[in-house]
Amino acid sequence: MTLVKFNQHPAKSFNGLFNDLFGNHPLNRFWNEDANQFFSALPPVNIVESKDAYKLDVVAPGFEKSDFKINLEGDQLTISVEKKENAIQEGDKQVRREFSFKSFKRSFSLDESVDIEKINAKYENGVLALVLPKKEEKQVANKEITIA
């Protein structure tokens, strides 16, 4: 026999149901009004590997080419951005601000196959594209060794 229990509560909105289920759970930051700040902390990155190179595409709209700093320390490639807030002119009142582009920092560990001397970057249409060419593999000569 199956027993089904019904609650006699009025219908709730999605937000009301979400709050009932998760309360003060850390995932709530995805649904609050400051979610923009959470997602802007780390921009999404696509990484594609081909036989000749790795290609990284970092989605970072709203920046200038001069805002980016790309550093290589050992095997760590670090991409960082620092952008100053635009000041609101005196007499203007900001009613709502839904987007802001501040700063971020992403680091990637490179393997020994990357030719660090040939890394190049290009920023266009809100996407920072880095090409990390691979070193040419040394051809290992096949040789049969005779036993004397």
Domains and CATH numbers, the chain: 13-41 (no CATH), 43-84+101-136 (2.60.40.790)
Q: What is the pLDDT of residue 82?
A: 82
Average pLDDT over residues 101-124: 89
Write down the pTM of the prediction.
0.60
pLDDT of residue 23: 58
Please determine, for residue 67, whether its predicted confidence score (pLDDT) is greater than 50: yes
pLDDT at 34: 45
Say what the pLDDT of residue 63 is: 86
Q: 35 or 67: whose pLDDT is higher?
A: 67
**Residue 16's Cα: distance from chain center in Å?**
31
What percent of the chain stands above pLDDT 90?
34
- Residues 41-63: what's their mean pLDDT? 90
The beta-carbon contacts of 73-77 under 8 Å, at least 24 apart in sequence, are 75/109, 75/110, 75/111, 75/112, 76/107, 76/108, 76/109, 76/110, 77/107, 77/108, 77/109, 77/110, 77/119, 77/130, 77/132
Kindly tell me if the per-residue pLDDT of 127 is higher than 90: yes
